[in-house]
Structure formats: C-alpha cells, structure tokens
Amino acid sequence: MEVILDSNFIISCIKRKINFLEDLENLGFKVLLPKEVYQELKDLRQKVSHNERNNIDIALSLIEKNKIKKIRLGNKIVDEGLIEKGKKGCYVATLDSGIKRAISNKVIISEAKNSLIIERS
C-alpha cells in the first residue's frame, strides 16, 4: 500500500511529536511525498513564525534523512493532485477536510490518542 503525505499532516505530526514515518511503515505503507508538497513546505518556511519554521526544518530534515520517495502530481493544484491520486486507490495522509471528504482511503491523526488512524470508506 502507498500513502501520499500532505504538508499539513507532516507539520501537525512534527508538532505532536508523532513519528509518522515509522508509524506508517509499521502499518505496511510505502511513504511517498509529492515534489509539490516538498516545495510547499520550503515556501511556507519563509512565511511563518520562528517556531513553525523549526517544525518545517525538522520535517524537511526527516524527509531527506529517510530518503522518502518523491513523486509528481502533475500540473495541478496540490489538493487536486492529492484527490486524484486518492481516487485512484492511494491513501492520502492529510488533515484537509476538503481532501478527506473527496477520497475514501486516508490516514489522519487521532486527536484523543495522538496517533495515526487509517480510514477506509
């Protein structure tokens, strides 16, 4: 199974100190990162507070250290590309309500347990 990461999911996991890469791999997922999401993180880094910048730096470092496979979504808005991949059967790790409503296979963060949850509709 493949799971594609969204930027809001990555940043939230870093804030909550969830080892999302290890957790996803333990759940049997091959983790993929869209190049567009990677660029989104780099661009966002320039626009946020010092604490948020540190979280993004940690995320970028983890991505590089773990050699996460990068893919292209194509010439689409990031959310549209994630939805398209999700509709083709990939899991999408996101917190975005619009994306979550549009796809059936997703990985989200449990607020109560501070852990990852797999949802299939």
3-state secondary structure string across the chain: CEEEECHHHHHHHHHCCCCHHHHHHHCCCEEEEEHHHHHHHHHHHCCCCHHHHHHHHHHHHHHHHCCCEEECCCCCCHHHHHHHHHHCCCEEECCCHHHHHHCCEEEEEECCCCEEEEEEC
Taken as a whole, the chain contains a residue count of: 121
Q: pLDDT category, 121, cuts 50, 70, 90?
A: confident
Residue 33 burial (10 A CB sphere; 0-12, 13-18, 19+)? buried
- For the domain covering 2-120, report its CATH number: 3.40.50.1010
pTM of the entire predicted model: 0.92
Q: pLDDT (tens digit, 9 = 90+) per residue, 15-66?
A: 999 999 999 999 999 999 999 999 999 999 999 988 899 999 999 999 999 9
